[in-house]
Amino acid sequence: MKKRKRVVILGSINVDIILQLARLPKPGETMKLQGFETAGGGKGANQAIAAARSSADVHFIGRVGADQYGKQMLSLLQENDVNSEHVKIDADKPTGQAYILLQQSGENSILVNSGANAFIQKEDVENARQLIEGADVVVAQFEVPIPRIIEAFEIARQAGVSTILNPAPALKVPDELLELTDLITPNEVEAEMLTDIHVDSKTAQRRAAEKLKAKGAKNVLLTLGSEGAYYLTEADQEESVAAFKVEVADTTGAGDTFIGCLAAKLAPDFTNIAQAVRYATKASSLTVQKIGAIPSIPTEKEILAK
């Protein structure tokens, strides 16, 4: 029997409050909602569940509050075969929340209350040291404190474990963290913030990727929304991968689905990056056709059937 890839996610756990509206309101304008619902979310939880639904053995490091939302999210992780042994219940802080303004066009704007996600401690990472050392890959995003990511990536690097950094939401990345990153995966906005290069052409994409590599990241993968993805590897292998053309209902969670599925399928030495990126691209094209983050994440069977 083929061994399942062990993916460790250090990340955020939120409850998404989805507000459906025709368009964003103008300053001073009052609008009626077209719909309202709640769903599981948080970039970390989304990516973990995406990886688990693509047959990875997924373990989570994070925090939730001692509230109803926290109970719901722990149950949701467990129902999706994500090991939550290293998710601590914080008695003082609420579970993270994200308010998603979903427009009729499928575009979204998101307001985040970090809650317990912002209070992950060094001891949380240290307590998971053996877990990290036994992983195939460690994945992190910027909805948790950057010092915790550095600590986790240091443990991974010392153990020869691959690291994937999803620098979202857009923040400057310390060089210390880039030097511990085997693969960085910014989108267009994040890439421009990190490199001051507007990645609107393949030439610009390569320049941005080269700049990130010069700062320490070994491999670079730019996610470009409807334009697909571009990657440049440590061995100077590059490729632009086209997106699938589909009808978009909601882009929430598309990037997280991509990252989670990529982590589940990418070999530790990145030799199958072309196949893994295509698999992740197909997965995210399925996600955008449904509303909600976690509810829209496809299974491996659904991805391979397309």
**pLDDT score recorded for residue 1:** 54
Whole-number Å distance between alpha carbons of 169 and 91: 26
**pLDDT score recorded for residue 251:** 76
**pLDDT score recorded for residue 259:** 97
Residue numbers in the chain where pLDDT is lower than 70: 1-2, 306
Is 11 annotated as ligand-binding? no
Mind listing the pLDDT tens digit for each residue in 112-138? 899 999 999 999 999 999 999 999 999
Rg (CA), the chain: 18
How would you classify the pairing of strands 229-232 and 238-241? antiparallel
Is 65 annotated as ligand-binding? no
Which candidate in 57, 92, 256, 269 is catalytic?
A: 256
Is 176 annotated as ligand-binding? no
Is 272 annotated as ligand-binding? no
Whole-number Å distance between alpha carbons of 70 and 141: 20
Q: 289 is written with which tokens?
A: 């056709």
* Domains of the chain, start order: 6-23+35-305 (3.40.1190.20)
Whole-number Å distance between alpha carbons of 75 and 80: 9
Mind listing the pLDDT tens digit for each residue in 54-72? 999 999 999 999 999 999 9
Residue 256 bears catalytic tag: yes
Q: Is 167 helix (H, G, I), strand (E, B) or coil?
A: coil
**pLDDT score recorded for residue 291:** 74
Q: How many CA atoms lie within 13 A of 282 on its CB side?
A: 16
Whole-number Å distance between alpha carbons of 261 and 115: 27
Is 166 annotated as ligand-binding? no
Whole-number Å distance between alpha carbons of 245 and 242: 9
Whole-number Å distance between alpha carbons of 151 and 177: 9
**pLDDT score recorded for residue 38:** 86
**pLDDT score recorded for residue 294:** 83
Is 296 annotated as ligand-binding? yes
pTM above 0.85, yes or no: yes
H/E element, 130:
helix 129-133
HEC readout, 32-53 = CCCEEEEEEECHHHHHHHHHHH
**pLDDT score recorded for residue 306:** 67
**pLDDT score recorded for residue 2:** 65
